[in-house]
Amino acid sequence: MEITLMKIEDYDKVYQLWTNTKGMGIRSLDDSFEGIERFLKRNPTTNYIAKVENKIVGVILCGQDGRRGYIYHTAVNTDYRKKGIGKALVDAVLNALKKEKINKVALVAFASNDLGNKFWKSLGFVKRDDLIYRNLSINENNI
């Protein structure tokens, strides 16, 4: 297995992985080629892919705002799960954030994503019951 920084040239294969992964919330604009290209330019050191025999089998997106890191769209191909790929991707992100002096990382997982929530819990990510997550779509085309 090889963990490398994600490049925009990886987009088509990454997008295919996302759309074939249960529990992903893909947005039409944010997760388009242009949206991901913008995200990668803004966060050039915190997005990774995992390859096995030159095939992309895992991905993790992460950005930071100078204070906190935020993990998005983590996925591992079902045929390659339980092999440490997800943990390796998370470790790569955590190491990158530490180098950028980011001390805390957060993520949002769908409550119905039992497998994903079990994974994050196994890595020490704590469920917060004291927060209410809110969002607002400011572009009606981002479905």
Question: Is the per-residue pLDDT at 61 higher than 90?
Answer: yes
Question: Is the per-residue pLDDT at 142 higher than 90?
Answer: no
Q: 């890595």: which residue's tokens?
A: 123
Q: What does CATH list as the number for 2-122?
A: 3.40.630.30
Helix axes 11-19, 33-42, angle to 10 degrees: 110
Task: Report pLDDT for 119.
Answer: 96
Rg over alpha carbons for the chain, rounded to the nearest Å, is 15
Answer for the pair 8, 33: CB distance below 8 angstroms, yes or no. yes
Which of 24-28, 47-51, 132-136 is predicted most confidently? 47-51
Q: How many CB atoms lie within 10 A of CB 17?
A: 20
Tokens of 139: 């572009």
Task: Report pLDDT for 99.
Answer: 98
Q: How many CB atoms lie within 10 A of CB 112?
A: 9
List, for residues 67-107, the tens digit of each pLDDT value: 999 999 999 999 999 999 999 999 999 999 999 999 999 99
Please state, in angstroms and rounded to a whole number, the distance separating the CA atoms of residues 49 and 17.
11
